[in-house]
A and B are shown apart, each in its own frame.
Chain A
Amino acid sequence: MPKAVKGVLVECDPSIKAIILKIDHDKHDYIVEDLDDQHLVIKESQLPRLKERLEEVLADTQQMPDESGSD
């Protein structure tokens, strides 16, 4: 008997997916199923938090080249 699991399908490029996997690695609290290079299913209730965390990581990685490049 197949199972139907509620969740959010996330489509993104592999680099973003790698970041999501890393965020999930701490507590395994976001990902329901890792589908392929560009798709994964996450818990619906965790989507806002994951977006926040992703933004933080993206902000961190983008500030560094900006700081070194501006002056």
Chain B
Amino acid sequence: VVDQIRLWQIEGERMKSTVGFLFKDFLSAAEYEGLCQYAGDIGVLKWKNDAKRMFFVTRHEQVAAYLKSQKEKRREGG
């Protein structure tokens, strides 16, 4: 049992897990950058990779709403 606790502690130090959402498959750099920037601004961004156009957020509701509003704005603009 002591061994198990010790191992658990080692593992706990070495491995950190965060529940959330991975955003991927962006068609344009502009769309990725805009959304990633927004996620950072509202403090939900945990990880990002510009080359892969992927980022991980702790909450997705606001990010998804922002994405939708951007799309609508674009549509209205023509």
CB distance from A15 to the nearest CB of B (A): 8
Chain A residues positioned under 8 Å from B35 (CB to CB): 2
Q: Which residues of the partner chain A approach B16 to less than 8 Å between Cβ atoms? A: 10-12
Q: Are A1 and B25 in contact (CB under 8 A)?
A: yes
Contact with A along B1-33 (1 / 0, CB 8 A): 001100110110011111111111111000110
Classify chain A: how many residues form its interface, as a range: 20 to 34
Within 8 A of B (CB), among A3-34: 3-13, 16, 32-33
- Contact for A10 among B4, B15, B23, B60, CB less than 8 A: B15
Query: Which B residues are CB-close (under 8 A) to A47?
Result: 17
Q: Which A residues touch B49, using CB under 8 A?
A: 35-36
Known: A11-B15, A35-B47, A55-B7. A4 touches B56 (CB 8 A): no
CB distance from B70 to the nearest CB of A (A): 11
B11/A9 in contact, CB under 8 A: no
Task: Tell me the bound Cα distance from A51 to B20 in angstroms.
Answer: 18
* Cβ-defined partner of B21 (8 Å) among A5, A12, A39, A58: A5
Distance in Å: Cβ of A32 to nearest Cβ of chain B: 7
Given contacts A35-B47, A55-B4, A59-B3, A5 and B18 within 8 Å (CB-CB): no
Residues of chain A having any CB pair with chain B under 8 Å = 1-13, 16, 32-33, 35-36, 39, 41, 44, 47, 51, 54-55, 58-59, 62
